[in-house]
Amino acid sequence: MLVANFPQMNFTQMHERLRLELLRRIQRGTLSVSLLARQTGFGQPHLSNFLHSRRQLSLEALDRILTVQHLSVNDLLPATYKREALPADEEGGSVPVVSHAAALFEPFIRPTAVQSMLYLPTGLLQSIRARVSNPRRAWQRFVAVRVPGSDAMAMEPLVLPEAIVLIDRHYNSLIPYRPNRPNLYAVRHGAHLTLRYVDFVSNRLVLRPHNIAFPVDLVEIDPGEPPSELIAGRVALILNEP
């Protein structure tokens, strides 16, 4: 039904969009061919042939991959359609709470990726200033994530276990939001999201914790890659549960 309603995506294009989405997940470290083989029961050579465009999947195989990867056909639609269905209402102050991987890697938050909604006072989001690099301007701006205890420890007592933080993905500049006060960022460290104060020194991102008992981390920047590419966004609000 969805394919019939959107003639821009036929069966062959659906295969290609699924293939590219799986390759993106493999590239960012959240999936591997061996893991997908275990999830689906298909052999690794069979899946590898699909990922390298050497064969297509059967309808049964397509359905199984969509199921184990928690995808729907709607998730494979072109971005213009997904944008119309965004589960966010920035004017009214509602923001999707999503996984760390979605906050880092998904320009448009799929309805199926929303874990819950964060409701904020009307006008709050409009009052937040942006400072964004050009490639990020097209991304859905605000997302929220929950911070598990293991990730919160380095930022205690500023961020407590199970806090929800609001991330402004249209602020990936290292310029302070307020003079003489460091920005707190959500940063991509490997394939993981981490909360840290950030400096840029000698082609490295310097990730500083709030809790001095934890070490400072250095992240090498690939040649030609701006540091803003590793910054998911500025933490605009921290909601620590009582």
- Assess whether 213 and 127 both reside in one domain: yes
- Assess whether 121 and 222 both reside in one domain: yes
pLDDT digits (tens, 9 = 90+) for 42-99: 998 889 888 887 888 888 888 888 888 877 776 776 544 444 444 555 666 889 999 9
Q: Which of 30, 60, 79 is the last residue of a domain?
A: 79
121-126 average pLDDT score:
87
Looking at residue 204, its pLDDT comes to 87
Cβ atoms of residues 236 and 168 within 8 Å? yes
- Assess whether 142 and 233 both reside in one domain: yes
Looking at residue 112, its pLDDT comes to 79
- The larger pLDDT score, comparing residue 196 to residue 70, is at 196
- Assess whether 13 and 45 both reside in one domain: yes
Rounded to whole angstroms, the Cα distance separating 213 from 210 reads 9
Structural domain tally of the chain? 2
Q: Which of 79, 96, 130 is the last residue of a domain?
A: 79
- Assess whether 127 and 230 both reside in one domain: yes
pTM value? 0.68
CATH of residue 196's domain is 2.10.109.10
Residues 6+ apart with CB under 8 A from 137: 170
* pLDDT score of 148 more than 60: yes
* pLDDT score of 38 more than 80: yes
- Assess whether 68 and 156 both reside in one domain: no
- Assess whether 34 and 154 both reside in one domain: no
- Assess whether 177 and 94 both reside in one domain: yes
- Assess whether 130 and 231 both reside in one domain: yes
Q: Which domain holds residue 55?
A: 2-79
DSSP string over 115-175: -EEEE--TTTGGGSPPB--GGGTTS--EEEEEE-HHHHGGGTTTS-TTEEEEEETTB--SS
* pLDDT score of 35 more than 60: yes
- Assess whether 153 and 174 both reside in one domain: yes
CATH of residue 59's domain is 1.10.260.40
126-136 average pLDDT score:
87
User: Is omega for the bond preceding 157 within 30 degrees of 0, making it cis?
Assistant: yes
Q: Which of 21, 49, 79 is the last residue of a domain?
A: 79
Looking at residue 83, its pLDDT comes to 45
Which of 73-77, 114-118, 206-210 shows the lowest per-residue confidence on average (mean pLDDT)? 73-77
- Assess whether 221 and 162 both reside in one domain: yes
- Assess whether 19 and 121 both reside in one domain: no
Residue type, 115: Q
